[in-house]
Structure 1
């Protein structure tokens, strides 16, 4: 019982810290065992419905303090707040509530000699309850599709990649899909991610970047270099190395980057559950902007699992990333390392088997794109600044190769006009 009380306190404390969870989580008053917690939750619901702030001060105005455990008890609830554990705790509350209700149904069935059919229906209704907003019947979907053959198709493209050849294959990053961008080191993975994030932001989306390897400052410097076309070596000391024209363009560049509405979380060794909690908070802070989530990179995400096998852990992480894409109905684009086997082959273009600690990555990902630069291995004869993007898996579209121009000095990616061989 003490453990369950701690869970109830954590759920309420998290709701006091993040008010949107009061409505979004699907929690009901009866989920709580403690009568004090029932009263607190009811006050929180009433305040939220009235569009008033919900904190321990406003909750105290809704009911006699003794019915809420007292002012100190209520104030201390925020110490139990844990956004990363919130979803798991809500599932526990729901599970124990269903067990209590099931026992009530069975006791009632024994005392009143209920028919088997009635018992089954009561248990089925119980199983469906607590899942707020869930509707599995497809009848209304079929009705809405009635006129489909007689209406012109209105295509809704995904989040733009900003690269014409890649767009032909992917039609943008799609909601609820996990895209893996994989390559060996120094191929331009992070610059590719920054390019996608900037174009998504300029197109009106909310890019959320989890930079597990690179610091926030370094990521911002790279984004500034791309936005302003600055050489990254000069960026180390703009005061000394920038020209007068480049200095004059500095503030307009910062203003332009600000328009991309990018968020960066550079905490090291994050778990997917921690990413999900952060993303949920950002998404709910401004729900009008649709999100797209970027992760750099998969192999350094911290596991939260009992498996000892590294391949199993990475496989579980990729599955959790896919579930996050489905939960938020937004694209999740994650970078991934390739194993060293690539270097031992004459043809060093990546293949599926090169995915490092692959586990279920190939199975979970909707799209897998391999990056490759020939001039990294052959500086003498290879075409310079050519970055190949090989779409090797595309669950809902074609596979194929897109080639772009990659300027390492600035981190910029450009389309190529193949008639003139010039960048556009």
Structure 2
């Protein structure tokens, strides 16, 4: 098995290079090179090293707007001391002789690319086998590395690039016009937040692929509002995962019961007949029955602490259950890292970036909670700003939506706004920024819309 020659097609490689060098005009040469570049990951896709050297010479000549015929290529190779390595000028003519009168360079470049992918699959298979034999590191991390290696191998270098489209393209205009007239299909995929005004500000809820960052000072209600988002999602028929790095599953369920059944949280935690009467028990029972009958798809986990574990569980859930719409991480600064205190900002930034990529990869809304630094305490009104995100690094850049939670009564017990909270939309990539005022019902561990009137 090990003595077999890796997949390749020397003739196809020669035709690709020959097609570029035999083009009769500079425009045609550049066009053929562009077709080849769109198909290949780079010169490394060529199996024969000599072909990689010739290809890179062609790319350099194109970059300088110089001819790419065999004579010019030979001169370029000679200048860099590579002509003998590729077999001399006669070998360039060997490549051109492979080219018929009419040849589709992109077609043969695709053959070269496919063979390169097969070689990379062999390489990654060997590497994955080595992961298994050595077993160094956490199993979840190794599995995630294996998945990522396979994904990188089978993903085309030009995936998502596509062709250039004119701004007045009829097909594109038809799509946009239909959405303007009848509503966007994306609107039906949005995940409602559970708050009427916030849904309006975000165009109907959070959009799949978005990372939403919720920031607040400690004990203001980050976890509570994130659980509210989750409850709003599942009540509208969506599926949500809640990864609690701070609270246990028991604590999360207690908060869910308090919010859904409208039973004071302290009563649920204390328990006993003196704290929970028959009416409260009836509400708890009805809340559970309603969740069962309406098939609420809310899943919680308190043992997934690394991004690798979160990613693996999210992928597994999506594969087993067929869908996943929202993923909550509570909270960014608790994701463990081997970084030193001095590099903590870098570690948080890396976690943020990984979660944003996960949102795009799985097509889900990722809600990531984040602590704020102490700067709001130094302001007269104590209101937070986006720049207050603790160890923000790339967090502000990665986030599509940033919501800062503010309650005046946390620092002024006699505030006339006691019981109110502002969801400050500090960043909204696809919509306006503003404040959404909601009511805080701390005893039920929830935020709700303010009743009209």
Do Structure 1 and Structure 2 share a fold, with TM-score over 0.5? yes
Distance 2:124 2:448 in 1: 60
Deviation at 1:87, TM superposition (A): 4.1
Please, which of 258, 261, 265 is the counterpart of residue 297 of structure 2? Answer: 261
Indicate the residue corresponding to 1:31 in structure 2.
121
Indicate the residue corresponding to 1:88 in structure 2.
145
Indicate the residue corresponding to 1:330 in structure 2.
364
Deviation at 1:296, TM superposition (A): 0.3
Q: List aligned pairs for 1:157-236, cutoff 5 A.
A: 157=187, 158-171=190-203, 172-236=205-269
Distance 2:314 2:355 in 1: 12
Distance 1:153 1:94 in 2: 37
Indicate the residue corresponding to 1:298 in structure 2.
332
Indicate the residue corresponding to 2:36 in structure 1.
none
Contact 2:194 2:231 in 1 (8 A): no
Aligned residue-pair number: 323
Q: List aligned pairs for 1:10-409, cutoff 5 A.
A: 31-32=121-122, 82-90=139-147, 92=149, 131=156, 134=159, 136-138=161-163, 144-148=171-175, 151=178, 152-155=181-184, 156-157=186-187, 158-171=190-203, 172-240=205-273, 241-258=275-292, 259-267=295-303, 270-287=305-322, 289-303=323-337, 309-409=343-443
Deviation at 1:220, TM superposition (A): 0.7
Contact 1:227 1:257 in 2 (8 A): no
Contact 1:209 1:295 in 2 (8 A): yes
Distance 1:91 1:242 in 2: 50
Deviation at 1:250, TM superposition (A): 2.5
Deviation at 1:94, TM superposition (A): 8.0
Task: Classify the secondary structure of the residue corresponding to 2:405.
Answer: strand
CA RMSD for the aligned pairs?
3.3
Indicate the residue corresponding to 1:57 in structure 2.
none
Task: Classify the secondary structure of the residue corresponding to 2:346.
Answer: helix
Superposed CA offset, 1:210-260 (max 9, x none): 100000100011001111011011112443211212222322212234432
Deviation at 1:180, TM superposition (A): 0.5
Superposed CA offset, 1:148-187 (max 9, x none): 3653242333200111121121121111111100000111
Deviation at 1:357, TM superposition (A): 0.8
Deviation at 1:344, TM superposition (A): 2.5
Distance 1:392 1:91, change over 3 A: closer
Distance 1:186 1:324 in 2: 28
Distance 1:143 1:264, change over 3 A: farther
Distance 1:91 1:247, change over 3 A: closer
Indicate the residue corresponding to 1:416 in structure 2.
450
Contact 1:224 1:257 in 2 (8 A): no
Deviation at 1:321, TM superposition (A): 1.0
Distance 1:145 1:346, change over 3 A: same
Distance 1:244 1:132, change over 3 A: farther
Unpaired runs of 5+ residues, structure 2, are 1-116
Distance 1:135 1:378 in 2: 52
Distance 1:377 1:306 in 2: 33
Unpaired runs of 5+ residues, structure 1, are 1-26, 42-75, 99-128
Deviation at 1:302, TM superposition (A): 1.6
